């Protein structure tokens, strides 16, 4: 499938906006519309930016939406994959194509709220010790979504994927797994990880820690990244001053035990968990 790349790539870019798309043309269209509006606001404030759309298992619908977005005058490029290559590979391809001093990664199920990108970038400019910055995510009714969590333990996987999670003890442990920042109005440094739906990084810090680990096909790549930044001495910051809408569909969630065991997305989640625990087994 045809790639759409800039004829003359610009090197003097302050912010690279990397959109990870997977088989949801309708959400991609809404996402790009909101990004285009935000990109124009940034340009008015003399903040040069670029938009990079990386598309897993691309089809004609998503390609046509990206092409239309570019033909409408947006400074963007489009890089499709015919197969489902997983989230980490999408993000890493976006990094390879990017030129910005700051890099923003987001899923195509995100809708931008005015000035969120600028607020995040200004905070990172002033705080070079921050490794990963994540905004407040909102449901479409305006309620906050949990997006900050403690690092996984094997027992958490057990509680999430078996009937043990329905016991009083299991429910208590799952509640403790979430870092409740729904009432926070100031940046918070967390000892844990942020959901990878929207993350912003400084390129100079990224170059020291490295890109996402592509051994995770899906799930745990954001957990792994946050942990590596923490171990390198950087802070993971929840930043509620910036807010974005997120359509959060839990593909691995199911109602019944045997249904969960047989669900392919659940199996991928468990496989990624095993890779994660093995990788950090001595730490």
* Per-residue pLDDT tens over the stretch 62-90: 999 999 999 998 989 999 999 999 999 99
Enter the pTM of the model: 0.91
pLDDT of residue 202: 98
Q: What is the pLDDT of residue 66?
A: 95
Check if the beta carbon of residue 53 is closer than 8 Å to that of residue 17: no
CB 161 within 8 A of CB 266: yes
Q: Is the pLDDT of residue 263 over 70?
A: no
Give the length of the chain. 283
How far, CA to CA in Å, does 188 sit from each of 19, 134, 147, 230, 262?
Answer: 25, 10, 13, 14, 38
- Across the range 226-233, mean pLDDT stands at 98
Average pLDDT over residues 178-206: 97
Q: Please compute the mean of the pLDDT values over residues 138-150 and round it to a whole number.
A: 95
Average pLDDT for 256-280: 76
Provide the pLDDT for residue 1: 58
Domains of the chain: 15-150+185-249 (3.90.550.10)
Under DSSP, is residue 253 helix (H, G, I), strand (E, B) or coil?
A: coil
* 254 pLDDT more than 60: no
pLDDT recorded at residue 268: 87
Mean pLDDT (the chain) is: 91
pLDDT digits (tens, 9 = 90+) for 23-33: 999 999 999 99
Please report which confidence band the pLDDT of residue 199 belongs to, taking 50, 70 and 90 as the band edges.
very high
What integer is the mean pLDDT of 146-154? Answer: 96
pLDDT digits (tens, 9 = 90+) for 107-126: 999 999 999 999 999 999 99
Q: What are the pLDDT digits (tens) for 28-47? A: 999 999 999 999 999 999 99
Q: Residue 18 forms beta bridges with which residues? A: 52, 105
The pair of structure tokens assigned to 257 is: 């035990």
């Amino acid at each position: 499938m045809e790639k759409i790349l800039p004829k003359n790539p610009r090197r003097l870019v302050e912010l690279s906006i990397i959109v990870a798309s997977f088989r949801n043309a309708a959400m991609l269209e809404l996402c790009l519309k909101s990004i285009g509006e935000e990109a124009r606001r940034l340009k008015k404030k003399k903040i040069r930016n670029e938009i990079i759309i990386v598309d897993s298992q691309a089809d004609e619908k998503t390609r046509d939406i990206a092409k239309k977005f570019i033909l409408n005058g947006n400074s963007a490029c489009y890089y499709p994959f015919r197969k489902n290559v997983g989230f980490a590979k999408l993000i890493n391809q976006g990094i390879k194509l990017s030129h910005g001093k700051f890099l923003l990664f987001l899923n195509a199920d995100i809708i931008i709220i005015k000035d969120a990108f600028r607020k995040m970038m200004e905070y990172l400019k002033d705080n070079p010790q921050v490794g990963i910055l994540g905004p407040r995510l909102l449901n479409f009714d305006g309620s906050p979504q949990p997006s900050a969590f403690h690092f996984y333990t094997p027992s958490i996987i057990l509680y999430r994927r078996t009937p043990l999670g329905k016991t009083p003890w299991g429910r208590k442990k799952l509640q403790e797994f979430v870092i409740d920042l729904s009432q926070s109005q100031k940046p918070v440094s967390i000892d844990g990880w942020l959901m990878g739906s929207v993350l912003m990084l400084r390129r100079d810090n990224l170059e020291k820690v490295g890109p996402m680990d592509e051994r995770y096909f899906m799930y745990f790549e954001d957990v792994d990244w946050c942990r590596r930044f923490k171990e390198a001495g950087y802070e993971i910051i929840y930043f509620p001053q910036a807010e974005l809408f997120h359509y959060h569909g839990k593909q691995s969630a199911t109602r019944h035990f045997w249904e969960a065991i047989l669900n392919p997305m659940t199996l991928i989640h468990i496989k990624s968990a095993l890779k994660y625990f093995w990788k950090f087994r001595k730490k």
